Amino acid sequence: MQTYVITIGREFGSSGCEIGQRLAEKLNIRYYDREILELAAKDMGVSVPDAADVEKTIYQREKNIFTKLGYNSQYLASNQLIDAQAQIIRQIATDESCIIMGRCADYILKEFKYHMAVYIYAPMPVRNLHIQSSYGLDHDAAERMITEIDRQRHYYYKYVTGTNRGDRHNRDIVINSDFLGIDGTVDVLYDMAVKKFPFAGSPT
């Protein structure tokens, strides 16, 4: 059976994860996010929290985050994690149809024949309200959190790909999740997927 993959990049607080999960359910395919980090951590022989800390070293270079390996090994560990995740992403894309959230999967799979690359964004006030509600923060704390996480993801994506995370090039669609809401955004992406992949499964 032919496999296809939808990769989703997103701004923090744009409801990208919920959209990805609902889209996977509607297409009756699997959704991958943190599971890829967990598999990469297993391959590297480290804990998931330690692997997650390695990702942050690209943005927080001055800090000795990955204490188990030591400061001089942070960059080696970061590259090992990138390579491990890339191998896992390619294998998943070969084995099954799925949605992959983040992890630079759009870049890693840019040569994959049956691939739809999506980027989801939303206006800052909408994102701020979403993060306030999700994490129990006030307006200023939510804004700081959004800024910090977006910067971290930007630097990680640029380190891996050499391009900006929100760049429209090499994307099939860049969509504002606030324009049609979560359900409307899912519907648009579903319609695109079944047009792009005629062999895509029926909705659940």
- Please tell me the predicted confidence (pLDDT) of residue 74: 54
- Please tell me the predicted confidence (pLDDT) of residue 143: 95
Separation CA 192–CA 189 (nearest Å): 5
Per run of 10 residues, the mean pLDDT along the chain (length 204 residues) is 92 95 96 90 80 68 44 61 90 94 92 94 96 96 94 85 81 94 96 89 50
- Please tell me the predicted confidence (pLDDT) of residue 201: 62
Separation CA 175–CA 160 (nearest Å): 23
